[in-house]
Structure 1
Amino acid sequence: MQTNITYSSFVAIGDSFTEGMSDELPDGTYRGWADLLAGRLAARDPGFRYANLAVRGKLIGQIVEEQTGPAAAMGADLVTLVGGLNDVLRPKCDVARVCELLGEAAERLAPTCKRLVLMRSPGRRGPVFERFLPRIEQLFSFIDELGARHDATVVDVYASEPVGDPRMWAEDRLHLNAEGHRRVAEAVWQALGYEPEEDWNAPLPPAVPVGWLSRRTSDVRFARQHLGPWIGRRLTGRSSGDGRPPKRAELLPYEG
């Protein structure tokens, strides 16, 4: 385990996962694994700077077009690139094209930083996840290839049973809750070579059985509050990130 690593700057790019949904703070903003990681890195370097260009709902083409250029220009020591799942979870998707675009992003970013981090990002276990499994595994296989090609760090959170457990996910069933984001931050921290602070992949206690009525009530609430609006956006070509600026558009000193 390396212990003398220092990163003085960090840029995160991606979609809602990197933006931090649904690790909600009391003021209604989102924190997330990238913010948590930045806070821990900043504790090691008083001059540490952080930018998070992620925007919810972005597809990999939008990430490449809108985020990779600014990120590369910042010349940060550490860059995390996570994207593509929004694409492969759509009914129609050219996975080969998604991989091609992700490769373009990595090609652009790798020469500009000391360490590029890619991720086999997590998914909530369940029927929807299983339906898209072949696409997801094709994408993640390519991410492994990218990691080897660019000497990038690949963090495998996808393989984690605990992080895939529904208890780690918010009510919308699309985004991690606070505990899920905390575990991802620890996983990246360890992958960067820092001493573990905990076992991010520790098993969860046995789940308490939920009655039929409670399950159905939860399903109805999910369909009304989350699934319906999501389908509406897909049918009309809209995105939850339309018109939304990056989370932290400039590489500035981190203040937790």
Structure 2
Amino acid sequence: MPGPAFANAAANAARVPRFAALGDSLTEGVGDRVDGAWRGWAALLAEGLGTTGETAEFRKFAVSGALARDVHETQAPAALAYAPDLASVIVGVNDTLRHTFDILDLAVRLDEVCAALSGIGSRLLTACLPDPGEMLALPAPLARPLARRQRAVNAVVHALSERYGAVHLHLAGGAWVENRSMWSADRLHPGERGHREIARRFHELLIAEGLALGAAPGGEPEQPAPSRTAKIVWLATAGTAWVARRCTDLLPQLLGLAGAELGHWARGTSARLDHIAENALTSALASLSPVPPLARMGE
């Protein structure tokens, strides 16, 4: 199947690029509500990919709560049929919050997604993400297991980004993570300002590679910030429901992980847990396909 890669810069300018966004609630746009629907960083970025006044063709496949399995089994086939020039693949936080977390399975699935999209000429956009335990300010025995998992996910994403020549954005740390104005009330999803920050940073990277032709998205929010009352209402309704769903799935195992964490700490053997995680990550990285596809947008 011929890829949609542009033959040269003139061809790039001749038509509007096609952009597909795969992933979970971050890419769906949770935290950036416009006219009763989630917009998000990917939709904002799409506005700056074409020439001035010409928005890129954009299709959002991302769904809140998606796991790597969902991206692999459902979103990727639909995106491949769409044949995008650019495809963002950002997922993994939900996997770290599930009792079924398996870094080897995640690595294999994301490798296959990246290989398939790159194989038809799509240029990938990827990002490493903040540790959810840190974002939620969980106690150390609860936070450490999640931190290990997120570090492993980010390591896999880094490896795949290098392997497939992805446009990679580092979102795991830095001042933007600590800036509360970037985040919504749940502290896990960016607010409008945060989504705009992500879109602007991706746009900067794409401009540098000649893959974006339009203006960068604005940095200042256009929607009024939610009031303190609105935040409290959200936390008491949708936020509580979200926590309840996650607790039903993760809490029993997380408490077990926390118990193991405390037990190893008391015995002075905490390094063993790090060693186990490192071995699992090593196996996951060793499972990645050895040769990346050659066809890439702009080459």
Question: What TM-score results when the alignment is normalised by the length of structure 1?
Answer: 0.73
1:61 corresponds to 2:69: yes
2:137 is matched with which residue: 127, 139, 157?
Answer: 127
Q: In 1, distance between residues paired with 2:80 and 2:248?
A: 33
Contact kept, 8 Å, 2:131 with 2:150, in 1: the verdict is no
Instruction: Write the distance in 2 (CA, Å) between the matches of 1:198 and 1:46.
Output: 13
Give the number of equivalent residue pairs: 219
CA displacement, residues 165-213 of structure 1 (integer Å, 9 cap, x when unaligned): 333111122211000000000111112134995998xxxxxxxxxxxxx
* 1:10 maps to which of 14, 19, 31: 19
Contact 2:131 2:147 in 1 (8 A): no
Counterpart for residue 185 of structure 1 = 199
* Residues 107-134 of structure 1: CA deviation (Å, up to 9, x unaligned): 2111123411111134563524944211
Preserved contact between residue 20 and residue 61 of structure 2 (Cα < 8 Å): yes
- Give the equivalent residue in structure 2 for 1:113: 121
Q: Secondary structure of the equivalent of 1:13?
A: strand
Shift of residue 67, structure 1, vs aligned partner: 0.6
Root-mean-square deviation over aligned CA pairs: 3.2
Aligned partner letter, 2:161? G
Q: Distance in 2 between matches of 1:158 and 1:119?
A: 8
- 1:2-23 deviations in Å (ceiling 9; x for gaps): x986561111111111111110
1:74 matches 2:82: yes
Identity across aligned pairs (percent)? Answer: 29
Length-normalised TM-score, structure 2: 0.64
Which consecutive segments of 4 or more residues in structure 1 shift more than 4 A?
3-7, 194-200, 217-223
Equivalent position SS for 2:111: helix
Gaps of 5+ in 2: 1-8, 220-227, 250-299
Where do residues 223-242 of structure 1 align in structure 2 (5 Å cutoff)? Answer: 224-234=236-246
In the alignment, what sits opposite 1:174? 188
Q: Which segment drifts farther, 30-39 or 4-13?
A: 4-13
8 Å Cα contact 2:85/2:121 also seen in 1 = yes
Distance in structure 2 (CA, Å) of the matches to 1:15 and 1:165: 22
Is 1:88 matched with 2:100? no
- The structure where helix makes up a greater share of residues is 2
Which residue among 34, 37, 43 is the counterpart of 2:42? 34
**Aligned pair in 2 of structure 1 residues 226, 161: CA closer, same or farther (>3 Å)?**
farther
Whole-angstrom CA distance in 1 between matches of 2:74 and 2:108: 16
8 Å contact from structure 1 (residues 20, 30) kept in 2: yes
1:93 counterpart letter in structure 2: F
Residue in structure 1 matched with residue 32 of structure 2 by the alignment: 23
**Aligned position for 1:101:** 109
Aligned partners of 2:182 and 2:194 also within 8 Å? yes
